[in-house]
Amino acid sequence: MAIAPPTPVEVEVHPATEADLPQVEELARAIWPVSYAGVISGEQITYMLDWMYSQDTLEAEFVQGVRFDLLRIDGESVGFVSYGPIEAGEIVKLHKLYVMPGCHGQGLGSLLLRHAEAVCYSESAAAMELNVNRKNVRAIRAYRRNGWRLDREVCNDIGGGFVMDDFVFGKVFERETTGE
């Protein structure tokens, strides 16, 4: 009996439009409760989702030049990354990077991270930075594995009796200089 070869999987990252922002919110609401369990309280997860992923917030970020890119596998959205705005010679903020829990461990988060880095590099950004919760060991490991370095620690009051107790990681883009 012959065994059929595995069906090829199509993985793509593409820019989200404003019409895709409800899909970003839907993904976040599916991912956060699993990814942040044991890192922050359920109450803080709900508070932050309502604050950071409301359509008003996402639309305001989009209008301000924050880019959202969706990760799709065989046409189904399974993750996203947001970053920007991008200014030549400046540090670009990586705002969000999430992949559905069932897709963890496949290198998809690293794929999204490298995608955002490549876009920022190609548009002459000097570096990128991101905040990551100090207790989010899985994400910290992934950022370190991708060449990001710990720059500093911050603790910001975000209202509602909650704080974001974070590490700030950065990555400087090395560029070749031409001797004249």
Span 11-172: which CATH code?
3.40.630.30
N- to C-terminal Cα distance for the chain? 66
pLDDT-derived band at 83 (thresholds 50, 70, 90) equals very high
pLDDT (tens digit per residue) in 125-171: 999 999 999 999 999 999 999 999 999 999 999 999 999 999 999 99
**Model pTM score:** 0.91
Alpha helices in the chain (DSSP H): 21-35, 42-52, 55-63, 108-122, 137-145
* Residue written as token pair 């880095």: 117
Quick one: which of 103, 98, 32, 29 has its CA closest to 68? 98
pLDDT-derived band at 178 (thresholds 50, 70, 90) equals low
pLDDT-derived band at 4 (thresholds 50, 70, 90) equals low
User: Residue 43 has which token pair?
Assistant: 């109450």
Quick one: which of 85, 114, 80 has its CA closest to 96? 80
Proportion of the chain above pLDDT 70, given as a percent: 94
Proportion of the chain above pLDDT 90, given as a percent: 91
Of 3-17, 64-78, 110-124, minimum mean pLDDT range:
3-17
pLDDT (tens digit per residue) in 39-62: 999 999 999 999 999 999 999 999
What integer pLDDT is reported at residue 21 of this predicted model? 98
